[in-house]
Structure 1
Amino acid sequence: MMNKDTKDVKSSSTRGFKGDASDAIGSQLKQYYKSVEQEPVPDHLLDLLEKLDQAERSGGSNGAA
């Protein structure tokens, strides 16, 4: 039979483990995001952005409301 104190110790140690895992995952995701941030934008996307800018400047409408 577990008393209240034993139960509290068990749940707090489990929370600590989950917190450590979350911290590790968060850290890895931040590192990955930073590496993706440093990658150059692909040329086809830059071309698309340029076309969109030109359409906005010319006041063109593509039928979208």
Structure 2
Amino acid sequence: MLSQPNGRGDPGRPSGQPPEVRPQTNGEAEPGWAGGLRKLYNSVVQEPLPDSFKDLLQKLDDDEDG
């Protein structure tokens, strides 16, 4: 399994799950296009990896172990 570089992983999120983009909570108004961009980003990161990518990642992990 690949780990997050520099300890940037989210310890509350199960391994293999992408981070979710959340709206601002600091009281600042966000631009009108931000909600649509957030939805698009979240839909893309939730798409499954193609099998060819999974195979490549597995080979890279195996090379690091050996």
Structure-1-length-normalised TM-score: 0.51
Match of 1:25 in 2: 33
Q: Percent identity of the aligned residues?
A: 42
Q: Deviations over 1:14-46 (max 9, x none)?
A: xxxxxx8x6221111100011112211111111
CA distance in 2, matches of 1:42, 1:25: 29
Match runs of 1:35-50 below 5 Å? 35-50=43-58
The answer to whether residue 62 in structure 2 is matched with residue 51 in structure 1 is: no
Greater RCO, CA 8 A, separation 6+: 2
Unaligned runs of 5+ in 1: 1-19, 59-65
Higher helix share: 1
